[in-house]
Amino acid sequence: MSDLLSIGTSGLLAAQKGLDTIANNIANASTPGYNRQVSLFDTLPSVKIGSGYAGSGVGIIGTERIVDSFIVQSLREQQTNLSEAISYNDILSQLDNLLADPGLGISDGLNLVFNSLQSINNSPSTLPERQMFIAQAQILQNRFNQLSKNITSQYQTINAEIVENVNTINNLVTQIADINMKIQNLGQLSFTSAPNELLDQRENLLLTLSEYVGVSTTDQGDGSVNVFIGNGQTLVIGTKPTYLMTQPNALDSMKTDIVVSDGTAFQNISNSFVSGKTGGLLNIRENVLPQALNSLGRIAIAIGLTFNAQHNEGIDLNGNLGTDLFNDPNTFTAKLNRVTANVNNKGTGVFSVSIDPIATKAEDPDVFSSATTLVNAGTLNPLTFGTLIINNVSIRPTVVGDDTVSTTDALGSAIAIAKAINSQSAAHGVQASAQPNVVYLGKFTTGALAAGNLTLNGINVISTGVDEQTLLQDINALSAQTGVIATGDGNLNITLVAQDGRNIELAKTVNSAAANFSYFTMNAGAASNMVAKASVELTTTTSEFIKISGNPASVGFTAGTTPVPNGSLSIKDYILSYDGSLYTLRYYPDLTIIGQSATPNFAVDGFNLTIESGTVAANDSFIIRPTRFAARDFDFLITDPMMLAVAMPVKADADLANKGTGSITVTDITDTSGTPIGNQYKLGNAFSKSDSLTPPISVVFVTPTLFRVFDISAGLPGKQLGPDQTYDPTSLKNAIFPISGVVDTTPPGPNVPYVFDPGYRITIEGIPQAGDVFTISYNSQSEGDNRNGLLLSALQFAKTLLNNTSTFQDVYTQFVGGMGSQASQAEINLDSRQSLMDSIQSRRNEISGVNLDEEAANLLKYEQAYQATAQVIVIAKGVFDSLIQAIGG
């Protein structure tokens, strides 16, 4: 009877255990993170009775959590991905909405500015239109400032959330470590005797932790788990938590870093947070916010530089040259603010970044090589392979036949070089022309010239040389053979001109008795053979800028003679580091190397990095943000409508007595600074006075195809600038400036002829007659003049950015569209991850969740089992009682 009773008792206890487990499941059906439990049973060992075996009941093994480790890990991973998508989408959608706000739109603001500018052009001298332009420009300024402020505030929001997230993570890892300790204290337990509630709590904490950062775990073997993030950074090892901290970034104070301490220093582990809520925040902070601020800044800089440059070339209603409309992006303070030193630097180096001019057109398409003074014949360099590269096209060497008129050094003449360049014009888009060759001989000492005293381009000059007029007549009588004309100033100062640009060769084999020139000795010394080369003018045929490289100095050209277009200003950040020997410039934060140098100065991407003061120590570093703060600092400066310079400061007039049909036009103002473009130029500071042009200019036609340009500062007829200029009546563009071959008589000499550029451009067209005169003067009566206003309006459609392919509005539209596309993609990504999360959660619930219908069925099953085993015990008791009665009876 004891066997029957024990079997019944074991069954009763098993049923009770099953009922307890089911009751616990039902009670925790809504408990977050609870995993369904099942009771495990096993048959007790059979007992041998006679020749066979009989069962002895059921044994209780324990209670097991129903968990699929793969689903658990997948749930954590997807929770990480979903949380990242949520935080990324939340901020990105805010930015997208901000940029879509019509009250802050830059494109609309620009349209209003240009519309009001057009109103000024329609009525240049009235004040209401000017006041409206000022109001619209101030609104544009406010829009830039407000957008920058709102985007910058996201940095502060993200940094605050990062600090909050780190505090939450620290709290979670503390709890996980505590649970590890509790589990360890229970000793070595099998899965059937594990503390299921503690395991559920820990798993729930790990799932919560995965919201903030991607985590991985390893089983330590004693029931505890180790927790890692990123590429192995530990958060929990057994019962020991690792606490995270935050601190400002050493390079960029706008950023808060996540760090851990190794006991001696802090290690930045922000890169370990590539996913989760924190990863989404860091992604926005590292990739989206800088791009947004830099994009706005680039547009602000482009507007400021181009508007200022054009406005400075105008004249206002007060008769003054235009001043800056917007803040100058290249003030010393602005240049310094673009570079931030690492707080851990040991050196004292201070750097600045200046933004290169952003050109709106090929303002100065003319490039001149330097002419020469008289040099020894045989020393002029010819073009060779690689000597001259124009717009990335290597110019072929000069060859025999390129110049058939020069008597010496023909391969190095201006004519030969121009012909070689023009043979490849289709490839590089540049046209070359040899300029008149001008040789200033200085003062002539009168005396007879016999054979061998002076040979000009291989022809002996024979003259009595009694005076200037006689000498000029005798030289010019040979011009058909020499290709050279001689001119004088009435004071025995003699100049030779080869109008076609051929070399001018001067030789002496026999000393003269007395005749001599200041800069070519004929009356003493050994025999000599000298040559002078003309300059070469390059003019673009494609409206593109002319870029020169190779070894151009060997043939008189200078690399970068004209401004290089800098529409290449990027929206990237940079980092400069120094290892003790080399400076390395990299993009930031991807650290792609741009260049290395032994000196700390770089010119890349439309800006120049320069060290201003101090020294740089090994391992010092600097962050460079060329456009980051430009939208914040964007400022419209003019408040007085009289100061809007929509007129041009130069006017050109035809004399009323002219007989021909020639007309003269001011086409452009190129420079009001007086700064030479290169050594071969002398830029006339035409605008040094507010009420006059310095110098005023007179253009006089000698014949219908030849004119002279005079400086009339001292009155008429004036001082001729350069040689006589040829005129083509069939051309619609006969440009007067620049003028090459201008004689420089400054002592002691001899000086190289220079190119005179007054800083403005004039063209003549039509059919002038001999004696016709045109004057160029200051535009002191500028009322009604809108010529500079029209050029300002043209900026709306000027290709100023992205390597001169896009307008202001093009770039802003691309920026807003790109941000909208990112926001749309982020929303799609969020929906996708939410769907996947729901799917995994559903699968987890199917496996580990509590199904009340199933539990109700199991409850009925165990209730019936309980009742049945109770009946077994009753029967066993009845049998036992009957047996006792039988024995007792």
- Helical (H) or strand (E) element with 434: strand 430-434
Are 122 and 27 found together in one domain? no
- Are residues 177 and 95 part of one domain? yes
**Model pLDDT, residue 563:** 41
Instruction: Give the model's confidence band at 561: pLDDT under 50 very low, under 70 low, under 90 confident, else very high.
Output: very low
Q: Residue 696: is the preceding peptide bond cis (ω within 30°)?
A: no
Between these two residues, 56 and 310, which has the higher pLDDT value? 310
pLDDT of 794-813, one tens digit each?
999 998 888 778 999 999 99
pLDDT tens for each residue of 412-464: 999 999 999 999 999 999 999 999 999 999 999 999 999 999 999 999 999 99
Residue 868 has pLDDT above 70, yes or no: yes
Q: Which two tokens stand for residue 398?
A: 């000069």
Q: What is the pLDDT of residue 544?
A: 66
Q: Residues 463, 512: one domain?
A: yes
Residue-level pLDDT at 564:
44
Interacting residues of 737 by C-beta distance below 8 A, sequence separation 6+: 756, 757, 758, 760, 761, 762
Is residue 843 a part of any domain in this protein? no
Local structure of 217: helix, strand or coil: strand
pLDDT at 565 over 50: no
**Six-digit token pair at 174?**
């503390």
Residue 723 C-beta-side C-alpha neighbours within 13 Å = 25
3 state DSSP class of 432: strand
- Three-class secondary structure assignment of 813-831: HHHHHHHHHHHHHHHHHHH
In a domain, 524, yes or no: yes
What pLDDT score was predicted for residue 95?
92
Q: Which residues of 193-232 are buried (b: 16+ CB within 10 A; e: fewer)?
A: ebbbbbbbbbbbbbbbbbbbbbbebeebeebbbbbbbbee
Q: Is the pLDDT of residue 567 over 50?
A: no
Give the domain-ending residue among 726, 759, 778.
Answer: 778
210 and 118 belong to one structural domain: yes
- pLDDT recorded at residue 101: 86
Q: Is residue 378 part of a domain?
A: yes
pLDDT band at 691; cut points 50, 70, 90: confident
Nearest to 257 by CA among 520, 589, 739: 589
Please check whether residue 103 lies inside any domain of the structure. Answer: yes
- The one-letter code for the residue type at 828 is I
Same domain, 98 and 170: yes
11 and 89 share a domain?
no
Residue that terminates a domain, selected from 585, 609, 642: 642
Residue 179 has pLDDT above 70, yes or no: yes
- The answer to whether the beta carbons of residues 883 and 1 sit under 8 Å apart is yes
| Residue 811 CA: distances (Å) to CA of 299, 485, 805, 807 | 8, 55, 10, 6
Q: What's the pLDDT score for residue 583?
A: 95
pLDDT at 360: 65
Distances (CA, A) of 631 to 140, 149, 155, 294, 302: 11, 9, 16, 8, 11
List, for residues 513-523, the tens digit of each pLDDT value.
999 999 999 99
Instruction: Count the neighbouring beta carbons within 10 Å of the beta carbon of residue 344.
Output: 10
Whether pLDDT at 560 is above 70: no
Q: Is the pLDDT of residue 882 over 90?
A: no
Least confident stretch, 683-692, 849-858, 863-872:
683-692
| Of the candidates 399, 401, 397, the residue with the CA atom closest to the CA atom of residue 385 | 397
Same domain, 818 and 691: no
Amino acid 562: pLDDT: 43
Confidence of residue 244 (pLDDT cuts 50, 70, 90): very high
Over residues 465-474, mean pLDDT: 96
Confidence at 817, pLDDT banded by 50, 70, 90:
very high
For residues 229 and 117, state if they share a domain: yes
Instruction: Give the pLDDT confidence score for residue 364 in this predicted structure.
Output: 55
User: What residues make up the domain containing 448?
Assistant: 437-532
Out of 264-268, 368-372, 418-422, 679-683, least confident range: 679-683
Q: Are 150 and 245 contained in the same domain?
A: yes
Burial of 280 (0-12, 13-18, 19+ CB in 10 A): buried
Q: Note the pLDDT tens digit of each residue in 633-678.
A: 999 999 999 999 999 999 999 999 999 999 999 998 888 876 655 4
Instruction: Give a yes or no: residue 299 inside a domain.
Output: no
How many independent structural domains does the chain possess? 6
Nearest residue to 106 (alpha-carbon basis) of 324, 309, 360, 292: 292
Side-chain half-sphere exposure of 573, counting CA atoms within 13 A: 24
Percent residues over pLDDT 90 in the chain: 65
Query: Is the domain of 505 the same as that of 375?
Result: no
Answer yes or no: is 300 within a domain: no
Residue 470 sits in a domain whose CATH number is 3.30.70.2120
Point out the domain boundary residue: 778, 794, 822: 778
Mean pLDDT within 364-384: 87
Q: How big is the CA angle at 141 (ends 140 and 143), to the nearest 5 degrees?
A: 65
When the pLDDT of each residue in the chain is averaged and rounded to a whole number, the result is 90
Other Cβ atoms less than 10 A from the Cβ of 128: the count is 11
- Domain identity same for 173 and 84: yes
Q: Residue 702 and residue 346: Cα distance in Å, rounded? A: 70
Tokens of 329: 């992006």
Query: In this structure, are 707 and 766 located in the same domain?
Result: yes
